[in-house]
Amino acid sequence: MTWLLAILLALNPAGQDSPPAGEAVYLIPVQGEISPGLIHPFARGLEQARREGAVAVILLMDTPGGRVDSTMEIIDLLEDSDIPAWTLVDDWALSAGAFIAVATDRIYMTERSVIGAATPILSSPMGGTAEMPESVEEKMTSALAATIEATAAAHGHSPELVRAMVDRDVEIPDPDQPGEFISQAGKLLTLTASRADELGFSAGTVKNLDDLLRRNDLDRARRIFLELSPAEKVARALTSSTVTVILLLAGLGGIYLEFKTPGFGLPGILGICCLGLFFFGQYVGGLAGYEEIALFLAGALLLFLELFVTPGFGVAGVAGIILTILALILAMARGPLFDPDFTINPDYPRALATLGQALVGLAVLALAGGRLLHNRRSPLARRLILKNDERTYLSSDRKVGPGPGQRGVAVTVLRPAGKAEFAGRVIDVVSRAEFIPAGTELKIIRTEGTRVVVQAVKSKPGEKV
């Protein structure tokens, strides 16, 4: 027995007891853009860490930032958790990433990493930034800086350094080098790993996760990684700024093309699918609810009634446009328009900018597509325009002939736009918002510039067109 005890002591010397059975650390990746799609898996990860009895939650961070509302929800989740949370910055913890990092108890950084540059900005969905009014920017910066300062102080991080990361007007002299500054006025503070270590902002510079765990005597602990479900992966992708504007552009573009072409085909299916994916992503991300979806459907119904049931364009059409735009904006925003201190909620300018990008893109594509189709020799035009040896298809910008009173036949279904033949020539026409089947006899009731308005007529017995 003596020799067996000696072997056991040699394998497990004093002061190096193995961790208790079941001791684990829970690893949550915070990578890429911080978007609403990250909130649900983050909450699920913290709950799973609690059930597993994890001794620490470690955020594996590499992010250029993201949405303020999503960031604040993640910070609230961390504050409500009773498990120690650490951050390992690998490359970037910028903007929203810095906010989340200071909400954890320890910040570790790899040698190549940086942290800071956390002032709020209005980001453009296709990259870059959009300008905010100076008064709005000042209010947002002040409110956000105060919140993050308090969060940092509660977790033992320097509020002064955090303030300099958010507010470019903060100046911090370097006590060790007279005349030098840690942070200069007019510049946001961004710290390298070595500088953060020198200033005591980080808990240390490590080589990697293994090194971090080794320093905390957790190198033998079980590592549990947060695994995203397929739905969470899809939602994370769909709620990114770039994908959101692409879905809006494709969805609105598809619906627009469907209204401009006869029948129901690929453009309409594509548009409905893209808008469905848009609302799915916003719903899973916690931004859109049934109310926004119902509001959008109500707006779409009013537009349908205005275009295909009631003549002209009046109250129903205007109301439909307003409800549709409002639904899309509300689906990308959360909470009231103004905070209690009358600071505008940054979600709404961002949502408006995203929708604006999609509408501008739609206008550009519509203009480019119109020019391309106008050139009837282009490959696209040859594919899309019907060919018939016995007819010459003309645009409505060409002279029709007698004008009002002339009779012809609908070549395509008018929904309400379509094509009709008059005196052997086919032109673009529009009905008074009613459906007219192909082959129906028509009469021109008025012309408005290049717009030819027709209505269905009944031929008298023996009368020919």
Q: Please tell me the total count of domains within the chain.
A: 3
Average pLDDT in the 434-448 region? Answer: 83
Confidence of residue 275 (pLDDT cuts 50, 70, 90): confident
The verdict on 43 and 188 lying in the same domain is yes
238 lies in the same domain as 134: no
What's the CATH code of the domain at 127? 3.90.226.10
Whether residue 335 sits in one domain with residue 252: yes
pLDDT band at residue 337 using 50, 70 and 90 as cut-offs: low
pLDDT at 33 over 90: no
Rounded to whole angstroms, the Cα distance separating 328 from 245 reads 11
Q: Which residues pair with 24 in a beta bridge?
A: 222
Evaluate if residue 438 carries a pLDDT over 60: yes
What pLDDT does residue 27 have? 97
Among 212, 227, 242, residue at a domain's last position? 227
Q: Which pLDDT score, from 0 to 100, does residue 377 have?
A: 55
Identify the residue with better confidence: 12 or 452.
452
Burial of 380 (0-12, 13-18, 19+ CB in 10 A): exposed
Pair type for strands 190-192 and 122-123: unpaired
Establish if 305 belongs to a structural domain. Answer: no
* 362 and 397 share one domain: no
Per-residue pLDDT reduced to its tens digit, 403-426: 788 888 988 888 777 888 888 888
Q: Are residues 186 and 272 in the same domain?
A: no
In this structure, the answer to whether residues 59 and 123 fall within a common structural domain is yes
pLDDT: is 394 or 228 the higher one?
A: 228
Task: Establish if 301 belongs to a structural domain.
Answer: no
pLDDT at 365: 76
Q: What is the tens place of the pLDDT at every residue in 321-335?
A: 888 888 888 888 776
pLDDT tens per residue, range 187-243: 889 999 999 999 999 999 999 999 999 999 998 999 999 988 887 788 778 887 788
Question: Position 396: which residue type?
Answer: S
Distances (CA, A) of 139 to 144, 170, 193, 293, 342: 8, 16, 31, 32, 9
Q: How far apart are CA 109 and CA 86, in angstroms?
A: 11
Please tell me the least confidently modeled range out of 28-42, 146-160, 213-227, 385-399. 385-399
Residue 159 pLDDT more than 80? Answer: yes
Q: Describe the crossing of helices 134-154 and 159-166 by its angle, rounded to 10 degrees.
A: 160
Q: How high is the pLDDT of residue 141?
A: 73
Q: Between helices 68-80 and 39-52, what is the axis angle to 10°?
A: 10
Mean of per-residue pLDDT scores for the chain: 78
Would the pLDDT of 106 be above 90? yes
In a domain, 14, yes or no: no
CATH number for 431: 2.40.50.140
Q: What is the mean pLDDT of residues 92-98?
A: 93
Least confident of 81-95, 347-361, 383-397: 383-397
Residues 404 and 354 in one domain: no
Mean pLDDT value across residues 308-331: 77
Domain boundary among 203, 227, 251: 227
89: helix, coil or strand? strand
Do 431 and 416 meet the contact criterion of CB atoms below 8 Å apart? yes
**Least confidently predicted of 9-18, 112-121, 257-266, 298-307:** 9-18
- Residue ending a domain, among 227, 244, 276, is 227
**What is the span of the domain harbouring residue 276?**
231-289+331-374
- Can you give the C-alpha Rg of the chain in angstroms? 31
Q: Tell me, yes or no, whether 143 and 216 share the same domain.
A: yes
Among the residue ranges 54-58, 181-185, 270-274, 304-308, the one predicted with the least confidence is 304-308
For residues 41 and 232, the answer to whether their CB atoms sit within 8 Å is yes
Partner residues linked to 414 by β-bridges: 436
Instruction: Write down the pLDDT at residue 79.
Output: 94
Residues 112, 220: one domain?
yes
Whether residue 401 sits in one domain with residue 362: no
Q: Which of 54-68, 263-277, 351-365 has the highest mean pLDDT?
A: 54-68
pLDDT top residue among 265 and 283: 283
Q: Supply the pLDDT for residue 367.
A: 76
Task: Kindly tell me if the per-residue pLDDT of 93 is higher than 70.
Answer: yes
pLDDT band, very low/low/confident/very high, at 363 (cuts 50, 70, 90) = confident
Q: What span, in angstroms and rounded, lies between the C-alpha atoms of 332 and 7?
A: 64
Token pair of 403 as six digits: 């004008």
Inside any domain, residue 462:
no
Q: Are residues 193 and 94 in the same domain?
A: yes
In a domain, 243, yes or no: yes
Q: Compute the distance between CA of residue 88 and CA of residue 214 in angstroms, rounded to an integer.
A: 14
- Is the domain of 169 the same as that of 241? no
Q: Is residue 300 part of a domain?
A: no
How many angstroms separate the CA atoms of 373 and 379, rounded? Answer: 9
In a domain, residue 348? The reply is yes
Task: Examine the pLDDT at 12 and tell me if it is beyond 60.
Answer: no
Which of 63-96 are b and which e, b meaning 16 or more Cβ less than 10 Å from the residue's Cβ?
A: bbbbbbbbbbbbbebbeebebebbbbbbbbbbbb
Inside any domain, residue 12: no
What does the pLDDT look like over 162-185, one tens digit per residue? 999 988 888 999 888 888 889 888
As given in the structure block, the two tokens for residue 456 are: 């269905």
